[in-house]
Chains A and B, each alone.
Chain A
Amino acid sequence: KQEVTQIPAALSVPEGENLVLNCSFTDSAIYNLQWFRQDPGKGLTSLLLIQSSQREQTSGRLNASLDKSSGRSTLYIAASQPGDSATYLCAVRLDAGKSTFGDGTTLTVKP
């Protein structure tokens, strides 16, 4: 059974700081991994999707990396802004198609 862990559960940083969010998974036979953000009371917004054959994906100030052998993915946020405050979730999809989510990291960026 795939287990997905996101540590830390919460993170508070000053505006402008670069930061890294972590996602660990136990089964390396993954199909893809997707990062989302979730604002309070809202649905999930897709940020980046990394296929199993890729090592990283970039979108604006966001960069996600994938290391299947170590069972890890990181989401790098450059020059953080207060608008980046949200909960960030990773979802790991196995070859069979089922996705397992971590419980997320709640990020607060202070002005």
Chain B
Amino acid sequence: EAGVAQSPRYKIIEKRQSVAFWCNPISGHATLYWYQQILGQGPKLLIQFQNNGVVDDSQLPKDRFSAERLKGVDSTLKIQPAKLEDSAVYLCASSLFRARIPYNEQFFGPGTRLTVL
């Protein structure tokens, strides 16, 4: 079974530029998550999708971050414009959704390491 795929693996941009990350979850996983992980800290949830609907985006800086999950499969996360403090690893995860057990084991992709200069 293929895991969660993410691209690119690394990205270096200058502040005020824009950047986009792509995620392809495990086949059949209806729930998709984007996390931000700053060095030395645990991941922080940015946004959670159930199919193509947003379940939680309370910690997403909506003035500069946006995310979409068209057709309930792939997802993109965009930052525009980027700030120095956005330097972090952006992790995508997915999990199975079942009516009787809606929240299951999360599986993570390798992440995208973003450096903002």
List the interface of chain A (C-beta within 8 A of B).
4, 31-32, 34, 36, 41-46, 49, 89, 91, 93, 96-104
In the complex, per-residue mask of B21-51: 1 if CB is within 8 Å of any chain A CB, else 0: 0000000000001010000111111001000
CB-nearest residue of chain B to A45: B108
Q: Is the interface of A mostly helix, strand, loop or mixed?
A: strand
How many residue pairs link A and B with beta carbons under 8 A? The number is 55
Partner pick for A89 among B42, B55, B111, B113, CB 8 A cutoff: B42
- Asked whether B40 lies within 8 Å of A44 as measured between CB atoms, the reply is no
Given contacts A42-B110, A43-B110, A97-B102, contact A103 B41 (CB under 8 A): yes
Additional A-B contacts beyond A34-B105, A42-B111, A101-B43 (4; CB < 8 A): A46-B108, A49-B105, A101-B42, A103-B40
Interface size on B, residues (CB 8 A): 26
List the interface of chain B (C-beta within 8 A of A).
4, 33, 35, 40-45, 48, 55-56, 58, 91, 93, 102-111, 113
A42, A44, A101, A103: most-surrounded residue (chain B CB, <10 A): A44
CB-nearest residue of chain B to A32: B103
How many angstroms between the C-alpha atoms of A4 and B45 in the bound complex?
A: 14
Chain A residues whose C-beta falls within 8 Å of the C-beta of B108 in the assembled complex: 36, 43-46
The 7 A-B pairs with the shortest beta carbon distances in the complex, nearest first, are A101-B42, A44-B108, A43-B108, A43-B110, A49-B105, A103-B42, A101-B43
Question: 15 A-B pairs, CB-CB below 8 angstroms?
Answer: A4-B42, A36-B108, A42-B111, A43-B109, A44-B108, A45-B108, A46-B108, A49-B104, A89-B43, A91-B106, A97-B103, A98-B56, A101-B35, A101-B42, A101-B43
